[in-house]
Structure 1
Amino acid sequence: MAVDAAWILDLAASLPETGEREYVEESVAFTFRGRGIGYVSADGRQLFVKSTLAERDAMVRSRPDVFAEWYTSGRFGWVRATLDRIDADEARELVVEAWRLTAPQRLVREWEEASAGAATP
C-alpha cells in the first residue's frame, strides 16, 4: 500500500503525546511534547524523520534511490524518504522509531504493551 502525507500525519497523531504544527515553506511537522520528530514536505512527496546515525547510514547505503541524508544533530541523523517509494510498513517503522527515540522509555514500554494487548484477540 502506498502512503501519502495525510496517512503519515494520522499515524503520528495516533502516538502518545504527539502534536502537529506548520513548519518551513508550508511543510508539516509532527512532534513529541513540542520537539520535532518528523516532517512531511509541503508537496507531500517527502518524509523527514529522526533516526540514529547508524540506522540512517544503513538505509542510505542500502537504498539510495529511496533514502537520503538530510540533517545531523548530535547523535541523531535525520533521513529523507521518498514517499512513493516506500510502503506502509516501512513508513510506520520510520515514524514510530522517530517517536521512540524521543519519548521517555516508560511511555514507550506502556505504549508497546498496550499495542501488543490490542493486537491479541
Structure 2
Amino acid sequence: MAVDAAAILDLAATLPESSERDYLEDSTIFTFRGRGIGIVTGDGRELIVKSTRLERDALVNSDPETYSEWWTSGRYGWVRVRLERVDPEEAFELVIEAWRLTAPKRLVREYDEGRPVG
C-alpha cells in the first residue's frame, strides 16, 4: 500500500512544464512554472500537495490517519499525506490533480488527451 517518495518525484517530473528544487529542511518541492504544487519531505515519509479546500476536507474526514490539513490559502487547501498509509494510485492522482489546479486549461486538456484511458 505504501508509495515511495522517489516515485512521487518521478511522476511529477513527467508533468508538462514542471520542475523540482530543494526546499526547506531537505525536502523537495515540485512546481509548475515556478508555482508550488507539492512537496516531498526530506525523510520521504510525507507528501504535501495542493488541493481544493473541499477535496482536502473530504480526504481528512475520510481517513485522518492518512490525511491532515497543512496550509490554506484562498480557495486552496494543502493536504499532508502519510506515504506509508496511502495507495500509490491515490497519491499519483493527488499529484496530477495539484498540477491540473495550477496549469492552464489548454495544457491540461492536451495532457489529458495524451493519457491512456482506463
What is the TM-score of this pair, normalised by structure 1? 0.94
Q: How does 1:1-121 map to 2 (within 5 A)?
A: 1-116=1-116
| Segments of 4+ moved more than 2 angstroms | none
Q: 1:112: how far off?
A: 0.3
Q: 1:2: how far off?
A: 2.8
Q: For the residues of structure 2 that align with 1:23 and 1:105, how far apart are their CA atoms?
A: 28
Give 1:51's aligned amino acid: S
Q: For the residues of structure 1 that align with 2:88 and 2:44, how far apart are their CA atoms?
A: 15
What secondary structure does 2:79 align onto? strand
Q: For the residues of structure 2 that align with 1:88 and 1:25, how far apart are their CA atoms?
A: 24
Structure 2's unaligned 5+ residue stretches are: none
What secondary structure does 1:21 align onto? strand
Give 1:72's aligned amino acid: T
Deviation per residue, 1:78-105 (Å, 9 max, x gap): 0000001011110111100000000000
| Count of residue pairs brought into register by the alignment | 118
What secondary structure does 1:84 align onto? coil
What is the TM-score of this pair, normalised by structure 2? 0.96
What secondary structure does 1:65 align onto? coil
% same residue: 65
Q: For the residues of structure 1 that align with 2:13 and 2:2, how far apart are their CA atoms?
A: 19
Q: For the residues of structure 2 that align with 1:69 and 1:107, how far apart are their CA atoms?
A: 28
Give 1:7's aligned amino acid: A
What secondary structure does 1:13 align onto? helix
Give 1:81's aligned amino acid: V
What secondary structure does 1:9 align onto? helix
Give 1:87's aligned amino acid: D
